[in-house]
């Protein structure tokens, strides 16, 4: 065996080991959620006193009691419905604002487009802990306390800046020559955007949809600030409020909620992973 072939084998082995380690690292949270969601309470807690207990497997037959507790004794499906409703409206508002704003900034001549884009992105970096107090004042003045419409109004304040910056980078990767040629052929600016730019920007638009909806799902601070009724809560707020009572944690039901909520997101990410990566990396090619 030559030294070059041996080096190639070693590199491939390192690559496989790294890929396997990364796969285990990525799958481990889902595996742990499955274990916790379907283990009996005795199987979950006996490990603290029984050293022969193996926490990584089902030591007893799996059970659906935690899932039944989640679905039958908490308004989990209502929380999911609220989250989807709010997320869909926020995504729509984000697309309406971020797509034309990103295109305008990408085509703005000189350095002003880049400066405005950076300025818009910096507003996304302001932490919610500094904004929820003035937002609470605005919501109170509008009479939207304890309403899902308060979240529909507030969430675009952090989805639009980030998605505008994202779309700006993507539109910059679309060659301006394509638009110029289409306008020479008789297309108007609106027709160029509708028939050429937007079809080419589908990866970026998909990325915006996924990011905006994910940001809505993971928010806790604003939901806790503006929603007080259990029936109007989102998943990120309702699950911990209902399943963490004082110092009692319903771990099985908590993990069941996390599992049910995360599976659709994971499926969507995997189905559109190619377009998602294209949308994230397109702005890095041209700037």
User: Same domain, yes or no, for 97 and 122?
Assistant: yes
Tokens linked to 55 = 């926490």
Q: Residues 228-242: what's their mean pLDDT?
A: 90
Query: In the predicted model, is pLDDT for residue 287 greater than 50?
Result: no
Q: Which residues of 21-51 are buried (b: 16+ CB within 10 A; e: fewer)?
A: eeeeeeeeeeeebebbbbbbeebbebeeeee
Q: How many domains does the chain divide into?
A: 2
User: Same domain, yes or no, for 75 and 161?
Assistant: yes
Domain that holds residue 112: 71-284
Query: In the predicted model, is pLDDT for residue 164 greater than 50?
Result: yes
Look at residue 20 and tell me if it is in a domain. no
Work out the angle between the directed axes of helices 202-218 and 235-243 (0-180°, nearest 10): 30
Contact predicate 207/240, CB 8 Å:
no
- Cross-strand bridge partners of residue 244: 249
User: Same domain, yes or no, for 216 and 83?
Assistant: yes
User: Same domain, yes or no, for 97 and 129?
Assistant: yes
Residue 221 burial class via C-beta count within 10 angstroms: exposed 0-12, middle 13-18, buried 19 and up: middle
Q: What pTM value is reported for the model?
A: 0.82
Query: In the predicted model, is pLDDT for residue 107 greater than 50?
Result: yes
Q: How sure is the predictor about 285, in pLDDT bands with cuts at 50, 70 and 90?
A: very low
Percentage of residues of the chain with pLDDT beyond 70:
90
Q: What is the pLDDT of residue 279?
A: 52
Q: How far apart are CA 47 and CA 235, in angstroms?
A: 30
User: Same domain, yes or no, for 46 and 169?
Assistant: no
Query: In the predicted model, is pLDDT for residue 7 greater than 50?
Result: yes
Q: What is the pLDDT of residue 286?
A: 45
User: Same domain, yes or no, for 50 and 76?
Assistant: no
pLDDT digit string, tens, across residues 29-78: 889 999 999 998 888 877 556 667 777 888 888 899 999 999 998 999 99
User: Same domain, yes or no, for 168 and 149?
Assistant: yes
User: Same domain, yes or no, for 192 and 176?
Assistant: yes
Query: In the predicted model, is pLDDT for residue 261 greater than 70?
Result: yes
Looking at 17, 41, 63, the residue that finishes a domain is 63
Q: What does the angle CA 146 – CA 148 – CA 149 come to, to the nearest 5 degrees?
A: 105
Contact predicate 66/253, CB 8 Å:
yes
């Amino acid at each position: 065996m030559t030294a070059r072939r041996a080096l190639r084998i070693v590199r491939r082995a390192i690559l496989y080991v790294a890929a396997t380690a990364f796969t285990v690292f990525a799958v481990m949270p889902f595996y742990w959620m499955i274990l916790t969601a379907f283990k009996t309470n005795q199987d979950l807690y006996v490990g603290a006193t029984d050293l022969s207990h193996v926490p990584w497997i089902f030591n007893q037959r799996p059970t659906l009691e935690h899932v039944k507790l989640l679905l039958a004794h908490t308004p989990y499906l209502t929380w999911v419905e609220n989250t989807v409703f709010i997320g869909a409206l926020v995504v729509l508002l984000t697309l309406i604002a971020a797509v034309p704003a990103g295109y305008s900034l990408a085509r703005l001549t000189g350095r002003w487009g880049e400066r405005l884009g950076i300025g818009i992105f910096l507003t996304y970096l302001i932490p919610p802990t500094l904004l929820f107090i003035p937002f609470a004042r605005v919501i109170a003045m509008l009479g939207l306390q304890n309403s899902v419409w308060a979240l529909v109004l507030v969430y675009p304040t952090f989805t639009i800046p980030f998605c505008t910056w994202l779309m700006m980078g993507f539109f910059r990767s679309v060659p301006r020559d394509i638009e110029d040629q289409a306008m020479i052929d008789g297309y108007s600016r609106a027709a160029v955007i509708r028939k050429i730019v937007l079809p080419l920007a589908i990866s970026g638009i998909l990325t915006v949809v996924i990011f905006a909806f994910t940001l809505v799902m993971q928010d806790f601070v604003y939901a806790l600030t503006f929603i007080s009724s259990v029936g109007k809560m989102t998943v990120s707020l309702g699950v911990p409020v209902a399943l963490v009572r004082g110092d009692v944690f319903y771990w099985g039901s908590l993990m069941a909620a996390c599992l049910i909520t995360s599976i659709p997101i994971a499926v969507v990410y995997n189905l559109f992973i190619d377009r998602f990566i294209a949308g994230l990396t397109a702005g890095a090619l041209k700037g």
